[in-house]
Amino acid sequence: MRISAGLGAFPVAKLSTVDLFDADFFAEGDPHPVWAAMRARAPLHRQVLPDGRSFRSVTRFHDACRVLGDHRVFTSERGSVLTQLGVDDISAGRMLVSTDPPRHGELRRPLNARLSARTLAAWDDRIRRAVLRFLEPALDGGEWDVAERAYELPMTVAGSLLGIPESDWGELVRWTAMAAAPDDTRFRVRSSGATLAIAHHQLFEYFGAQVKLRRDDDQARTDLIGHLMTMTAGGAPLTDEEVVYNCYSILLGANATTPHTVSGTILALAEHEGQLRRVLDDPGLAPQLVEEGLRWTSAANSFLRYAVADTELSGGRVEAGEAVAVWIGSANRDESVFADPYRFDVTRTDNRHIAFGHGPHYCLGATLARLTFRILFDEFFRRFGTIEVTGPPRHLASVFIAGLTSLPVRTR
């Protein structure tokens, strides 16, 4: 997905011709002018697909927060990703992302302690080693592909956390990429439907085997998979099926978005040399760079909810049963919330972005992600002072994830 630096050259005349369900639009086009027009003229836009399915698009910041924050009116249990439109989610009530409170809280609370800032502080050295491994190809001053390399970074952290053997990391990276972007030609196998089915089968089968392994060996339960197996939710242990679903959810959450925040932020720094110079001159800006990178890239591009009851939203009416797509990339460019939203600004202080979502489903791994990004840029700016893009970036074809599949650069 292109990330606009401005909208003046991209007027949008007819919103009725826009197809936000088309993954290729996000790979080849720029949705930001469309979203800006929707925020101004149609904040509750309705799109009807050729097969009769339809969804509302929410593009304003405060509307996005309301939909994501109010599970009583907007449920996630019928599907949380736009590509699931019209197909009930079989994991509802069993997997974090497709479960509403109070069950959601019962599943989440035992995991919070394992992913808290205090607990993860012990992971600093391990994350730093993963970051140094990620940066290895850049050290000789040659060309390297940040986007391709970034796909491996979160797996080195999440894989260790879950207790997954390093020999399996490569396949898991590929399967999670297929699950997150089944329409992209880099990952697609025959068709998007087949790609998604293969990815789900492989991931669920893999985690099922990992659970069985730990059932047979009590000593192997010290990792996050083992924690899922031994924790209780609502006074009862999880079933093996619930463990597998949530292993999938945790890994997909890490692998689907982190690479694109990394490569998108590095691209933004390459395109805004003045901002790069500011961070080089003042390393204390690194935390603000991380937050601006999260807002700018908005890697989790959209979330899906369904209205439980008729409700008023943005001066319009959403009827019970209607699907509502929340566009995070648009909410994080809302002119009423962010000053000069199309300016990449590492000194931005009022940065209330919702790149990690909002409400009950706020990203479980947000603390781990921020720690990884902080260490990454700390090590990056320790070594490099210039970023030169040496070839055209290639954007991901996905309505769910905004990101890059290729970004060749030279760093010195």
- Cβ atoms < 10 Å from Cβ of 14: 7
Task: Please give the pLDDT value at position 10.
Answer: 54
Task: Please give the pLDDT value at position 314.
Answer: 87
Beta-carbon contacts of residue 201 (< 8 Å; ≥ 6 apart): none
Contact 32, 4 (CB under 8 A): yes
Instruction: Name the stretches of the chain with pLDDT < 50.
Output: 9
Task: Please give the pLDDT value at position 9.
Answer: 47
Give bridge partners of residue 404 from the DSSP assignment: 395
Buried b or exposed e, range 100-131, using 16+ CB within 10 angstroms: beebbebbbeebeeebeeeebeebeeebeebb
Task: Please give the pLDDT value at position 218.
Answer: 67
Task: Please give the pLDDT value at position 329.
Answer: 96
Beta-carbon contacts of residue 169 (< 8 Å; ≥ 6 apart): 152, 155, 156, 159
Report which of 162, 157, 171, 225 is spatially closest to residue 199, judged by C-alpha positions: 171
Beta-carbon contacts of residue 21 (< 8 Å; ≥ 6 apart): 47, 49, 55, 82, 85, 399
Q: Give the H/E segment covering residue 229.
A: helix 224-230
Please tell me the distance from the alpha carbon of residue 279 to that of residue 346, in angstroms, as a whole number.
7
pTM: 0.94
Please tell me the distance from the alpha carbon of residue 316 to that of residue 313, in angstroms, as a whole number.
5
CATH numbers and ranges of domains, the chain: 15-411 (1.10.630.10)
